[in-house]
Every structure is written in C-alpha cells, then in structure tokens.
Amino acid sequence: MSEAQNSQADGNKIIFPDFVELWKELYYKTEAACADAFKEFVSTDSFVKMLDQTLNQHLSAEKINRQNMDKLFEHSAFPSQKDLARIAELVISVEEKVDNLDYQLLDNINRMADSLLTTIVLLEKNQQQLAAINIQNSELKTRLDQLQTQNSEMQHNIQELHQQNQLFNQHITDLAEQNAKLCHINSETKTELADIKIQNTRLKNQLTDIKKQITALNPKPEHTDDRKGGSVKKARRKAEVEQAE
C-alpha cells in the first residue's frame, strides 16, 4: 500500500521548470551572437550619429529644463541648486577664513608666548647683569675711596716733599754760598801759599848764601878731627837751618 500510494503521489506532483538554469543556458548560447551583432552595430556610423543626436537632444533638454527651473526658482521663495551651491561655497570660504583666522590667532598667540618667554629670559639676564653691575659699582666705589685716600696721602706726601725740596734748595743755596766763600778763601789761601812759597824760596836762597859765607869763613876740618867734633858741627848746622826756615 505504501509503495502504491507513493507512486500515485509522484504522479500527482506538478513539476516547474528552473528559469534561472534556462536563462543561463539561453545567455550562454546567444552571448557570442549578440556580442558580435552589438559590436557590428556599435562600429557603424549610424550608431555614432544616433549617440550624437541623443546626446545633443539630452543636453538641449537639460539646458531648457535648467533654464526653466532657474526662472521658476527666481520667482519662488525656494532656493535653487545654484543658490545652495553658492551658499555652500560661501560657507566653505567662511569656514576656511575662520580656520585661517584660528590658525593665525594660534600662531600669533604662540609667537606672543615665545616672545614673552624670550623677554622674560632677557629680563632675567638683564637683572643678573644689573646685579653684577651693581656689585662692580660697589667694588669700584670702594676702589675709588681707596684711591681718594691714597691720593690725599700722596698729596700730603707731595706737600711734605715740596717743603723738603724747599728746605733742600735753601740748604743748597747755603752750601753754594759757603762753597763760594770757601772758594774765595781757597783762592786767598792759594795766593798766600804762593807768597809763602816765594818767601820760602827767598829764605832758601838766603840760607844758601849764608851757608856759602859760613863755609867761606870756616875752613874745612882736618882728617884728624874726632868724630864727636864733626857730629857737633852737623847738629849746629841743622839747628841753624831749622831756625832759618
């Protein structure tokens, strides 16, 4: 019973064709012929002319449509695509300008911050330099005070040296006067010595004359005289010469 029922059920089934498989089979069978026909049709001048005509007709219709739409939007309160595009361009330009302003503002702020930092650094350096200059000024003031004290001491010493110089000059003048006096005395003593020498020469001449006279008056002693007598005579002659001198 079951097999007979199954066979009856299979005979009662409605079989539908697979349209996808049929379309694939039809496509693969007609693909080459359609491609060749379409290539031939596309390569003809009539197809090119048709394309040109359809393009020109489409462009003219599009142009007329745009003109009509522009006129419609001109008289209506609704904005057109051109207006929206123009507004969009203006908005984009405004956004670009705002971005540029933001960039410039940030750049200016950064530059101002950098300049402020540099000025702060320079001010710190200037403060350090001013502190160093103040220290140098204080040192210079102390040195100037020392130099002033030294200058006052030197001026005092110069005054003392000037006084000493005056005393020395006066002493030199006194010595010069004494030297002149001594020179005068020396010249006088030289003249006196010259006179004394002249007198001495005269006395020597006189003594020689006296000796000659004494020798002329006293004859020479004999050889038999004693030594004591000769020594006595010599002593007498020396005494006479000394007295004459």
pLDDT in tens, 188-222: 888 888 888 888 888 888 888 888 888 777 655 55
Q: Which of 38, 53, 78 is the last residue of a domain?
A: 78
pTM above 0.85, yes or no: no
202 located within any domain = yes
Residues 71 and 89 placed together within one structural domain of the fold: no
Residues 69 and 106 placed together within one structural domain of the fold: no
Residues 67 and 89 placed together within one structural domain of the fold: no
Kindly give the interhelix angle for 81-217 and 45-75, rounded to the nearest 10 degrees: 80
- The pLDDT value recorded for residue 224 is 45
- The pLDDT value recorded for residue 243 is 61
Residue 109: which domain range? 82-155
Residues 87 and 150 placed together within one structural domain of the fold: yes
Answer yes or no: is pLDDT of 1 > 50: no
Residues 92 and 53 placed together within one structural domain of the fold: no
Q: Which of 78, 95, 117 is the last residue of a domain?
A: 78
Local confidence band at 133 (pLDDT 50, 70, 90 cut-offs): very high
What whole-number percentage of the chain has pLDDT above 90? 11
10 located within any domain = no
Residues 43 and 90 placed together within one structural domain of the fold: no
Residues 93 and 63 placed together within one structural domain of the fold: no
- Structural domain count of the chain: 3
Residues 26 and 87 placed together within one structural domain of the fold: no
- The pLDDT value recorded for residue 59 is 93
